[in-house]
Structure 1
Amino acid sequence: MLLKTFGWSFAVTVAGLALAGVLWGWQGLAIVGILSILEISLSFDNAVINAGILRKMNAFWQRIFLTIGILIAVFGMRLVFPVVIVAITAKLGPIEAVNLAINDKAHYQELVTSAHPAIAAFGGIFLLMIFLDFLFEEREHKWLAWIEKPMARMGKLDTLSIIVALVVLLVSAMTVATSVAHGGGDKSATVLLSGVAGLITYLVVGGISGYFEDKLEEDEEDDAVAAAASGGAVNGTPPVPRKGAGAVMGMAGKAAFFMFLYLEVIDASFSFDGVIGAFAITNDIFEMALGLGIGAMYIRSLTVFLVRKGTLDDYVYLEHGAHYAIGALAVILLITIKYEINEVITGLVGLVLIGLSFWSSLVRNRREGKPGSDAPAKSEVTSGV
């Protein structure tokens, strides 16, 4: 199971480190290794969030996530994205931007860093919306009940998450964006525009994927009703039992496609801090893409591992911890518009929150005699896809 899931990640690691050693020597090999560890530490919460979405998809779309998805993650976000940002913000042609990235690395790094306020505002608001929609939703299991119960009641106002996100964006534009650490000057207009773009992106992609997911649920419920009325079968096919309230197993077609797009946008938002943070280690885009790409491979393999092991079903507070980590990352991204925050702090915040949620899940399982505890299980729990 472990080798099957992480085999490609192990192979890419060996090949990537070997290539780094050949091209850039021991120093390059060390840089690529450090970048890989940086990406994994910053994105562990990303794997948990991705697993919560990926487990709804069928095997075909899970393979798409591991193949086409990883190409987008490695070459799109870790190699092409920084060059595109430079081309847009510096008003350069794509060829000129690539030439700058290869031949004038110091100036290229300066231009990418100056684009940080726009990147942080877009990614910060997008991630904040994910956290707020989770926080304001009524759910069966509550980790921090003293926070989640009142927030769920407040969440009955459908537009509350949008209102809160816009207020946070406005406050950010009026405070941290007035005198930024990256590029200097007043970036209020840039932050406002980028934040609104992040909000619109979330509403469009998340809204479309949610629409198809809800429609699929309705179709399944209609089939179940028709099956009950006809003696338990629809068109001669018995209904497939669902593995949990609100879960859509084996999602395919348009629903899976838009959910895949949603996953990729989430991954892009998570990668922003990693790409910017990588410039503290190297300004060579190829070293950066290779190191962060290796880390991205492990995050995707970990996502599939969590899905196939049914970890989120067995440890019910993991998703809570990951979403709180997302909220923390969103706030950190907005703060870094003006203030420098070490990537180690960003990574530790996420790991601590997920670690605490995992420990809380263990305590709950031990109390109820469920998987993950030393006590005998009282009932069989479905795990994996």
Structure 2
Amino acid sequence: MLLKTFGWSFAVTAGGLALAGVLWGWKGLAIVGILSILEISLSFDNAVINAGILRKMNAFWQKIFLTVGILIAVFGMRLVFPVVIVAITAKLGPLEAVDLAINDKEKYEHLVTAAHPSIASFGGMFLLMIFLDFVFEDRDIKWLAWLEKPLSKLGKLDTFSIAVALGVLLITATTVATDVAHGGGDKSSTVLLAGVAGLLTYLIVGGISGYFEDKLEEDEDDDEADAADEGGAEEKAAAAKNGGGKPTVVGLAGKAAFFMFLYLEVIDASFSFDGVIGAFAVTNDIFEMALGLGIGAMYIRSLTVFLVRRGTLDDYVYLEHGAHYAIGALALILLATIKYEINEVITGSVGVLLIAASYWSSVVRNRREAEAEGSGKQTEVSSGV
């Protein structure tokens, strides 16, 4: 199973490193390798979040995530996106922006870095909403119960997460955005506009995917009820044969999966922002950057599918909690980087530590449940049951 899931990642790694060695020598090989590790360390929590969504999708859409999705991630976000940002911020044509990225790498790096406030604000707000909607939801399983219980009560207030997010955005715009490290000057209006755009994107894409997911679950419940009623099942089959009746579950699953796929891609884009900006600390060559970050992105996708197929999130129930806390930390870090320089090692370490802590808590929980179950069986035997 390991080879089946990670086979393409291994192949892309071997091919990518070989290509880097041929084109740029040992130095290029080292740069691509470093960027790959950087991307994996920064996006491990992304894999856990993706797995929580991807396990709701069928095998077809999981394949789409690994094929079309990886093309969008590598060529779209790691290669095309920075060029588009330069074209927009510098008011250049697409060809001019590409020429600048290839022939004037220092200016290209400067322009991409100058666009960081808007990028960080958009991505930070999108990720912050994912975190807030998670911690404000009342869940049966709680990791940090002392924190999650009171937060779930606050979450009963409609649009509370939106109010908190807008409050964070307002504070960011009036504090750290007034004198930014990237580009200089007051970027309050830019940060506000980009942050609101990130919030709206979350509400639209997440709302649509959530609607179709709920609709799918409702229809599945209806189908189960109809299956229990033989007459109802026969009428439904006749209606389907005549082209009547309500849409089938398969059609609804397709719509739900499509919008979930879009949601996944926006999440990946938000996670990739810090990786793209951080990559400039290693190289300003767009092709080295795309190759290195692309290899890392491939592993994140393979890891996502691996977690789904192994049922890891069901076995280690606190992993999703740890990943969402890591997302919350990343969102705040992204907003803070509008003014302050924060090393990527710190960003990646926070996520890894939170996920590691949630994994260990899950292991401890599983051991306690196993011991409790074993004690229960011994009690039954001793009592003669």
What is the TM-score of this pair, normalised by structure 1?
0.92
Q: 1:23 to 1:359 in 2, by over 3 A?
A: same
> How do 1:288-327 residues align onto structure 2 when only pairs under 5 Å count?
288-327=289-328
Q: Could you tell me which residue of structure 2 aligns to residue 225 of structure 1? A: 225
Following superposition, the deviation at residue 232 of structure 1 comes to 10
Q: Could you tell me which residue of structure 1 aligns to residue 204 of structure 2? A: 204
> How do 1:152-163 residues align onto structure 2 when only pairs under 5 Å count?
152-163=152-163
- Distance (Å, rounded) in 2 between the aligned partners of 1:94 and 1:186: 28
Q: Could you tell me which residue of structure 2 aligns to residue 141 of structure 1? A: 141
- Distance (Å, rounded) in 1 between the aligned partners of 2:32 and 2:347: 20
Following superposition, the deviation at residue 125 of structure 1 comes to 0.2
- Distance (Å, rounded) in 1 between the aligned partners of 2:268 and 2:5: 19
Q: 1:339 to 1:376 in 2, by over 3 A?
A: farther
> How do 1:3-42 residues align onto structure 2 when only pairs under 5 Å count?
3-42=3-42
Following superposition, the deviation at residue 255 of structure 1 comes to 0.5
Mapped contact 2:322–2:355 kept (Cα < 8 A) = yes
Q: Could you tell me which residue of structure 1 aligns to residue 81 of structure 2? A: 81
Q: Could you tell me which residue of structure 1 aligns to residue 339 of structure 2? A: 338
> How do 1:1-385 residues align onto structure 2 when only pairs under 5 Å count?
1-230=1-230, 252-369=253-370
AA in 1 matched with 2:133:
D
Mapped contact 1:369–1:377 kept (Cα < 8 A) = no
- Distance (Å, rounded) in 2 between the aligned partners of 1:158 and 1:6: 42
- Distance (Å, rounded) in 2 between the aligned partners of 1:3 and 1:252: 29
**Secondary structure of the structure 2 residue equivalent to 1:337:** coil
- Distance (Å, rounded) in 2 between the aligned partners of 1:179 and 1:125: 19
**Secondary structure of the structure 2 residue equivalent to 1:369:** helix
CA-to-partner distance for each residue in 1:288-345, whole Å, 9 max, x for gaps?
A: 0000000000000000000000000000000000000000000000000000000000
AA in 2 matched with 1:95:
L
- Distance (Å, rounded) in 1 between the aligned partners of 2:190 and 2:133: 25
Q: Could you tell me which residue of structure 1 aligns to residue 381 of structure 2? A: none
Structure 2: 5+ residue stretches without partners? 238-248, 378-385
Mapped contact 2:121–2:198 kept (Cα < 8 A) = yes
Bigger Cα Rg: 2
Structure 1: 5+ residue stretches without partners? 237-247, 379-385
Q: 1:347 to 1:83 in 2, by over 3 A?
A: same
Mapped contact 2:52–2:320 kept (Cα < 8 A) = yes
Following superposition, the deviation at residue 249 of structure 1 comes to 11
Q: 1:183 to 1:152 in 2, by over 3 A?
A: same
Mapped contact 2:212–2:252 kept (Cα < 8 A) = no
CA-to-partner distance for each residue in 1:136-155, whole Å, 9 max, x for gaps?
A: 11111000001111111111
**Secondary structure of the structure 2 residue equivalent to 1:341:** coil
**Secondary structure of the structure 1 residue equivalent to 2:341:** coil
AA in 2 matched with 1:151:
L
AA in 1 matched with 2:265:
E
- Distance (Å, rounded) in 1 between the aligned partners of 2:112 and 2:250: 41
AA in 2 matched with 1:184:
G
Mapped contact 2:138–2:152 kept (Cα < 8 A) = yes
- Distance (Å, rounded) in 2 between the aligned partners of 1:216 and 1:5: 28
Q: Which has more helix, going by share of residues?
A: 2
What is the TM-score of this pair, normalised by structure 2?
0.92
**Secondary structure of the structure 2 residue equivalent to 1:363:** helix
- Distance (Å, rounded) in 2 between the aligned partners of 1:231 and 1:151: 47
- Distance (Å, rounded) in 1 between the aligned partners of 2:231 and 2:366: 38
CA-to-partner distance for each residue in 1:95-142, whole Å, 9 max, x for gaps?
A: 000000000000000000000000000000000000000011111100
Identity %: 83
- Distance (Å, rounded) in 1 between the aligned partners of 2:73 and 2:375: 41
Following superposition, the deviation at residue 222 of structure 1 comes to 1.3
AA in 2 matched with 1:140:
D
Mapped contact 1:105–1:283 kept (Cα < 8 A) = yes
Q: 1:139 to 1:30 in 2, by over 3 A?
A: same
- Distance (Å, rounded) in 2 between the aligned partners of 1:182 and 1:59: 43
Following superposition, the deviation at residue 228 of structure 1 comes to 2.8
Mapped contact 2:44–2:300 kept (Cα < 8 A) = yes
Q: 1:3 to 1:177 in 2, by over 3 A?
A: same
CA-to-partner distance for each residue in 1:359-381, whole Å, 9 max, x for gaps?
A: 000000000119xx9x8999xxx
AA in 1 matched with 2:131:
F
Aligned length: 365
CA-to-partner distance for each residue in 1:189-230, whole Å, 9 max, x for gaps?
A: 000000000000000000000000000011111112222333
Q: 1:229 to 1:377 in 2, by over 3 A?
A: farther
**Secondary structure of the structure 1 residue equivalent to 2:340:** coil
Mapped contact 1:54–1:307 kept (Cα < 8 A) = yes
Q: 1:232 to 1:45 in 2, by over 3 A?
A: farther
- Distance (Å, rounded) in 1 between the aligned partners of 2:11 and 2:207: 37
Mapped contact 1:57–1:249 kept (Cα < 8 A) = no
